[in-house]
Amino acid sequence: MPRMRIRGPEGTSTITLSDDAKISDLISEIALKTSLTNFDIKYGYPPKPLLLSQSEPSLPLSKLDIKLNGEQLTISSREERKSGGSPKSTSPSDSKTSSIPPKVKDRQTAEAKSFSFSGMHGDAKNTSDSAPPVALSRKRGIAGDVPEIPIPELQATLVLRVMPDDNSCLFRAFGTAVLPGDDLSMHELRSVVASTIQGKPELYSKVVLEQAPDDYCRWIQTSDAWGGAIEMGILAEAFGIEVVCVDVQSLSIHKFHESGTNTRCVLIYSGIHYDMLALSPFSSTPENDIRVFDKSDDTIIAKAVELCSKLREKHYYTDTGGMAIKCKDCGVIVHGEAQAAAHAQQLGHYNMAEVDT
């Protein structure tokens, strides 16, 4: 069944149509989700007009030259909403927050701004070139049993749900929490990021992205592109949920989209990888995991830090500041992200792996 994410003037939603759905069905669903009667539709990146009016309303979507399954459609109004309601109000604190792009001032990334293991950038600086981020594979997963934190008062256990090392771990971790069971979420989430960046050029500039925005948008939509703080901030706001990210090595806590939401999910950052925390009811299976939590209760965050402390004891993190890194292009071994960044900039070698020495 075709599935699309709709991004309208008042937020995002998802529509699922039958396999034999027609153009008229799609238009009706968009009108229902957005409360708009007269609207323009754009898709893809760069956004291109979807001119459905040039085809018969009875034409099946499967007959279109464009494959819409998994696409994000951006909807803009041609006139006032049919409901006559006013746009969502924004509190002063929300306005202030929305003018600042999400980023993390992390000591591990302070030395090499052009070297992006994960997108968790420090203070950005303007660069003349848009070099591709370094692709780094980690050498280890977790040794032995994955730590768990029982929470008897909740009749459940806090568990780490480990994501595959497939360059989409952030998107997969977020999608597993917010869109469980959705096989299309990786593509959709990348598309949400790209369209948001393109729609807010004053916020997501070359200085912030450390790369030309158009290049960044093309890159983040590839399967090899890693996500980080920028992506977490965008996705948190797009889905109306607070994202709490706990760093295994430092046990520091970073929050994204703190205001205007009542729920949160918790991700675990281990240097160059993201996993997800879930609350598993006693004697249950992962299908019954609780992945989204009430923001008013900080018990889960406290227990998440406790779990990360156990992960740190097992050295379940990558020390990007001092680890040994082997260049897969020429075989040289460097130490730390600063040396790796210099090597990449000098020789154009961007394919590297963490190794033991």
What's the CA gap between 278 and 225, in Å, rounded?
A: 25
Tell me: do 149 and 243 sit in the same domain.
yes
112 belongs to a structural domain: yes
Give the other-Cβ count within 10 Å of 141's Cβ: 12
Last residue of a domain, one of 289, 313, 337: 313
Question: Which residues is 277 bridged to in the sheet?
Answer: 160
For residues 172 and 163, is the Cβ–Cβ distance under 8 A?
yes
Domain closes at, from 45, 77, 109: 77
Would residue 232 count as lying in a domain?
Answer: yes
Q: If pLDDT is split at 50, 70 and 90, which confidence band does 140 have?
A: low
| Tens-digit pLDDT profile for residues 48-86 | 888 888 888 889 998 888 888 888 888 888 764 333 333
For residues 102 and 233, state if they share a domain. yes
What's the pLDDT tens digit per position in 14-50? 888 998 999 988 988 888 888 888 888 988 766 788 8
Catalytic amino acids? 166, 169, 273, 349
Start-to-end Cα distance in the chain: 50
Query: Exposure of 221 by Cβ count < 10 A (0-12 exposed, 13-18 middle, 19+ buried)?
Result: middle
Last residue of a domain, one of 43, 77, 111: 77
Please compute, for residue 97, the number of CA atoms within 13 A of its CA located in the half-sphere on the CB side.
Answer: 15
For residue 66, the domain's CATH number is 3.10.20.90
Do 44 and 143 share a domain, yes or no? no
The two structure tokens encoding residue 138:
């980690």
* 131-140, 178-187, 303-312: least confidently modelled range: 131-140
The reply to whether 144 and 220 lie within a common domain is yes
Query: In which band, very low, low, confident or very high, does the pLDDT at 353 lie, cut at 50, 70 and 90?
Result: confident
Same domain, 66 and 198: no
What is the domain range of residue 36?
3-77
**Whether residues 125 and 263 fall in one domain:** yes
Using one digit for the tens of pLDDT, what is the confidence trace for 156-182?
A: 999 999 998 888 899 999 999 998 776
Q: Are strands 333-335 and 253-256 parallel, antiparallel or unpaired?
A: unpaired
Whether the CB-CB separation of 227 and 272 falls below 8 Å is answered with no
φ, ψ of residue 247 to 5 degrees: the values are -85, 120
Question: If you write DSSP's letter for every residue of 113-163 in order, what string do you get?
Answer: TT--SSS---S----S--PPPPEEE-S----SSPPEEEEGGGTEEEEEEPP
CA atoms within 13 A on the CB side of 146: 12
Please tell me whether residues 213 and 291 are part of one structural domain: yes
User: What is the number of alpha carbons within 13 Å of residue 70 lying toward its C-beta?
Assistant: 10
**Residue 43 sits in the same domain as residue 72:** yes
pLDDT at 111 over 90: no
Q: Are residues 189 and 42 in the same domain?
A: no
Band of residue 6 on the pLDDT scale cut at 50, 70, 90: confident
Instruction: Report the phi/psi class of residue 143: left, alpha or beta, with left for phi > 0 and alpha for psi in -120 to 50.
Output: beta
* Same-domain status, 233 and 124: yes
Instruction: Supply the angle between the helices 185-199 and 213-220 in degrees, to the nearest 10.
Output: 170
Check whether residue 103 and residue 54 sit in a common domain. Answer: no
Give the domain CATH number at 191. 3.90.70.80
Residue 332 lies in a domain: no
pLDDT score of 309: 94
State the pairing for strand pair 274-281/156-161.
Answer: antiparallel
- Is the residue at 121 inside a domain? yes
- Asked whether the predicted pLDDT for residue 129 surpasses 80, the reply is no
Segment 320-349, tens digit of pLDDT: 677 788 888 888 888 877 788 778 878 888
Distance from C-alpha of 225 to C-alpha of 207, rounded to nearest angstrom: 19
Q: Nearest to residue 262, comparing CAs of 233, 231, 297?
A: 297
Chain segment 211-239, per-residue pLDDT in tens: 899 999 999 998 888 889 999 999 999 99
The answer to whether residue 234 sits within a structural domain is: yes
Torsion of CA 47, 52, 55, 58, to 10 degrees: 140
Six token digits for residue 42: 């754009």
Report if residue 85 sits inside a domain: no
325 occurs within a structural domain? no
Number of domains, the chain: 2
Strand, coil or helix: 229 = helix
The answer as to whether 110 is a domain residue is yes
Give residue 137's pLDDT.
56
State how far the alpha carbon of 77 is from the alpha carbons of 49, 85, 200, 212, 352, in Å: 13, 13, 18, 29, 46
User: 107 and 44, same structural domain?
Assistant: no
